[in-house]
Structure 1
Amino acid sequence: MQERWLCLCVAWLMLSLSPAAVAQEQSAALPIDAPASAVISSGSSGTGRSDASALRPGDVLVLTVPGEAAFETPFEVDRYGYVQLPEVGRIKVEDLSLDQAKAKLQQALAGIFRDLERFDVQLKQRQLPITVLGYVRKPGPVTLPAEGNVQMAIAAAGGLVPGAQLDKLQVRRGDETLSVDYKKYMDSGEAGLLPALQPRDLVFVPASPLIGNVQIEFDAATLAAGGDAGESGRAVKVFGEVNNPGSFTYKDGSSLVDLLMRAGGVTRFAGVERIRVINQGAPQLFDLKAYLDSGDSSRLPSIQGGATIFVPKQEDAVSRSASTVYIMGEVFHPGAYEGREGTTFFDILANAGGPTRFAESRQIRILRQDGSVENFDLQGYTEGLARTKQPAIRPGDAIFVPEKTDMNEKSWLKVAPNRAVMVIGQVTQPGRFEWSDEMSLLDLLAHAGGPTSQADIADVRIVPPGGKAQSFDLDRFVNQGGDVTSLPVIHAGYTIMVPELPQDPSDNKSQWIRQSKDNSIYVFGQVGAPGRYAFNDHLGFLDILSAADGPTAAADIHNIRITHRSEAITRVTKLDLSDYFETGDETLLPQVLPGDTIYIPEKGRPWLDEKKENTVRVMGAVAKPGRYRFNEDMTILDLLAEAGGPSATAYLERIVVVNVAKAQAGEDQARTFDFEEFMLEPDFAALPLLRPGDTLYVPERSSSNWAIFMDGVRDSVSLLSIFAIIGGL
């Protein structure tokens, strides 16, 4: 009897929880007249908002769940797009419409609450949650009204701190950064200068570069004293004899006088006739006095952003006029002299007191204003030995009287560059040597003590002045012999560089820059010592691979790549080194030259490194699904074995093979294979053809038609059993 009552209770409970019963109960509880909502609700449109508009962070939602006190207060969408529901947790509603949000929230609440027929979602308020950082008084997150802007965000963060850079505000939105000229907005009041804010935006207020690297309290006078520039690249720097030197913001149309006035004007010690201006890298002089006397605006130099203005002291100004001639060196009174029309060389020399006893009177030089240099032999002229005439002196010229050479204290400075050759690098005594054209390269190296033990004599560099450097293989010349006439021709002014032999790339990485890329080959990947190695045309592929300590245990020697960068068109060669070791065929080894690159990949490298055209994808009910390398000698049986074989739930009667090659030719894209029938009656001719790039799919047995039919039968039997129990009552 007790068992019968227990069965009746179970049947009644199952009927009461059925979807039809719940729907009928909720329908009966639904009121006939539902009041209209005063805010935007799902399925309706509100002011300024359409059904297609999406929810975003900061929105305030009203959730209607009758009889639940926990839903009487509004819910706010947080900064991450989630809303926190009682007993359910966080549900993401960002970018959903009200109808979509209602459906998603109702689905989440259905597992906890029963009466959800009158459930509704309404948008009560729209807000802007953003973050304000930088030079504000209260940096951090703030919440603004929906129509909030940058000015309201700064006010919500407590306002700006003295020293804030107003013209370089930033609004960061994800990876995008918008620049805001807040100063221009404050000057004009043009609302279009402020970008519209969006939820989760970050407003950053930078500090002016003028405040320095030490945090101290500034007042307005202190900040204004150093100028108002915020961007060093566009700032105009004014210093020297001005009242308030500093960096000032460049404004279009600003003249030099405007910038001097912004710097407080010049002091009484200013040399206004020699103001120096560097504009876009070009220096020029400006005579402010002449401009003020004439009022000619064409005298004003053009000023661009980044210019530099220097006002020197009056006493520091160098005396110069249109007729000045300079004399310097070994004379008694060097300096600047005024030369009138008809002034000769001897007039200037006599006014300077004449040469001293240390003067080299045979090597006097006249430096012309146009940059040319003229030599004058004063001793030969006075003794009548030289046939040269007295040089003409023009305004702006300079006369230089050099010092005699002290033979007792010989200095390399005494040898003119046009009579010397420089030898540097790996020689015993590098230095600067006097040169004669009857000498050769071997004479010069012998005079320098010869190469050291670390010298790379296979790449001796000869650098002519103003020309292209050339390389000379002294090692081949010494070992194989050669004619002296084949030695490179050396002239005075040349530089001879004997480089150092390269060191181990795995040791002392700072030495790699000494090795020329034109004599190097690059080895990457799974080798003992990857790096950049010296290489010449006498070496081969195995030489460079051995120098790199050979492949490691993890190296994939079947897929070595050689990039031939030394050719006119770069090409890539693939090498299977295992074939070479099996056959010993030297023709399999590629020819490598300096500048080429050798890459040895790793065996178990990430699947992204494997091209899809070289692999076959195995999916479904196998032990190890994934991508596998495949060649033309393998079959579907090899591939299934490599993948660990089918699982216990595999549906072997309908294994699917997707042949990409056939799909591209316009034929069937897929075919099925009965693996179980093959195991009973093996016929290798019936095996489906697989090529690299194909896909093999082994379905689950639950996907078969019989499994689907049996699931339906079990559901029907369960339902009939329930009715049988009820009927027995």
Structure 2
Amino acid sequence: MKMIIRSLLVLVLMLGCATTWVGAQGLPVNIESLSDEQLIQLATKYNLMGLSESELEAKAKEAGLGSDQILMLKKRIALLDPSVAGGQLAYSNKTDSYVLRNKVLTKGPTIRSKDSSGVLQVFGAEIFDNLDLSFEPNLSIATPSQYIIGVNDQLVIDVYGVSDVTKKLKVTTEGDIRFPNLGPIKVAGLSVDDARAKIKKALTRIYPGIATGAVAVQVSVGQIRSIQITLLGEVRRPGTYTISALATLMNALYASGGPNDIGSFRTIELLRGGKVVTSFDLYDFLLKGDLSKNRLLQDDDVIRVGTYNRRVALKGALKKPAIFDMKAGETAADLVQYAGGFADLAFKERVRVTRLGSSGREVLTVPSSGLSTFQLQSGDTLVVDSLPALYANRVWVSGAVYHSGAYGLAQTQDLKTLLQLAGLREDAYQERGLLRRLKTDLTPSMVSFSVQEVLKGSFNLNLQREDSIHIFRATDLRERYTVEIDGEVNQPGRYDYFENMRVQDLVLLANGYREGAARQKIEISRRLSAGGDTISYAVIKDISLDNPQDLLFELKPFDMVSVRRLPVYKEQIKVSIEGEVLYPGTYTLSGKNERLSDIINRAGGLKSSAFAEGAVLIRNTYVGVTSSDASLVGSKARLINQQSGRNIVPVDGGDSTILKNLSAQQKPVSIRLADALGQKGSAADVFLEEGDIIKIPKSIQTIQTFGMVNLPKQIVYRDGLSFKEAVRASGGFAVNAARRHSYVVYANGEIRTTRNFLFFRSYPSLKTGSEIYVPSRSDKKKLTTGEAVAVVSGLTSFLGLLVVLINTAR
């Protein structure tokens, strides 16, 4: 068997390589798609031996076979031939003949026929498709006493007592065994018990102690012979099989793959000597576990599977819907029993039957009481419906009750009883409840009632099936009451309003004041009615929490509280300096009038390697922006997007995200550090602001060209180096260079553009660290043929009009 596995592995390796060469994808053969016959034929065709299994596996992996494919191959071989555990498989020269010694041939999965819906399977077919079942004869048990000894069986004769002799003798083709010093003993055709008695009697001639009991004799079957049987009719794989003499009818049937699409599961005949020995019904085994007719097979036995007599489908609310084979005289009640009975949700009053009539399909309705007498026909389809989803006695209650859900109508016949059982919550809205009711045509209707009157007993309603009652919460029927606080508190925002809430309570909910809060300047705005339906906000109160009277000021729903900042309160202002100073880092400004030169001096001054002309100031563009500023920006951005129909200004995330994004935006500011240090207090010595970053680079000696030059590069700067010389050093202008739009960016961020006047062009001067940018010319759109014709026509018309005007003037 290992040789066969090796052969098949090499074969699959070759096929996998072929697939790789042809498809250029390296895809191996799909082992699962090969049939049993293909595996056997390919193993016979390719006699590939000599390699170990591990070597073959390694080469198979190199060819692209994964571990799953190799495992599937081994599993298929094991299922195709159980001789992996000791037997041996061969494929005889005789057509359709399978030889199996010691064990019964098993097979791979088979797809069974299904009904027109594509769902139901023939009942019993699954045992022949189940890879976990083998139905192999057990060779480890004692030989059955009814086993008939035949040619090639090996008998083990053990003589013990005064004499001690053990002999293993094979039954010859003449049907006898030959014990030393004793003539032939004919045992073929005898049962094990009869053969034991005959051998014991024959041995008394050379072992007299047997008669007196001094010597005992034990006879058993050592090796079981193989027998040939034939499977005919409607089986998956008919043919001649060589199997173990301990095999039964069920073993052989499983080896053949079981009944085919039209094969009967109810009438399987065993023929011996041309006569029917027994008729096996698979349903006896499947439904009752009865194997009394599962006879041991003998040499030259024939198993015949005929076509089914009646086949009926049973679907719907059953425990095991399937297609069933039915014998004559069996009724619909038997069929339901075969399916395990009705499911719990089955509508058991009647069963619908679809029948193939002589001129078309027919539908019959069979009451459950008539199933035991209803005779089935082949092709019938029985359908068991499920119970409808509607409840016969259910009412619902939901909302402001303690025990919402479904209730039985018998216990809650009226509205008051239902509300008392459900338990009304304290926050229930007493003025009105709603009852949803289905009319006779299942269209919904609505009935309103006063909850208060129902509980008092002055009003009540009798309930009906599927009535649904909803009790509202009083808080659900009004807008959520909130108050809002902003400004100098730790957690500004919107909070739920509570009755008798005061300003100090709201401040506590907001986690208290911030350090710079002005407790004497708290502003409250309130929603006021201006008459009619008009609602407006008005500032109605400025309070001081240092005033005991103001502490008692009571808030109303939707009040807005603003806590102002102390005018004299200032937080520390920090700036950073990086690069070529003695002490780079973060510094806190000593006042609002501290300048660039001041912070450079505090940082120890410039290093000798500092490049002052390249110093840059990075500043937060929107430093100090507030939430109201962000809200204004967001509103304008949304208006721009709405008017343009596009997302020109992203506003995703709301005003808080806009505030965060605005605060994080930084822009470079061009400065002249050398002038600021040389002329302190001058315009070049700028004032510093929160978050400023001063970057001072090391001295550099090069300039850089970018854009439409033939070779953008760095160039060593020298005094007097001009723009044109730098471009020439970079290979000159490219063909599509826009020379008139060239510009220079200096190390401190300043920009100088090319000046153009008529045919004269003046390029910017260069300094150390300059960057030259030469943009490309924009491609002018060529006129299409239609546009050219239109232009020519227009010019022609204009010239014609001009000629007419000139002639008229004369």
**TM class, shorter-chain normalised?**
under 0.3
Give the structure with the larger strand fraction: 2
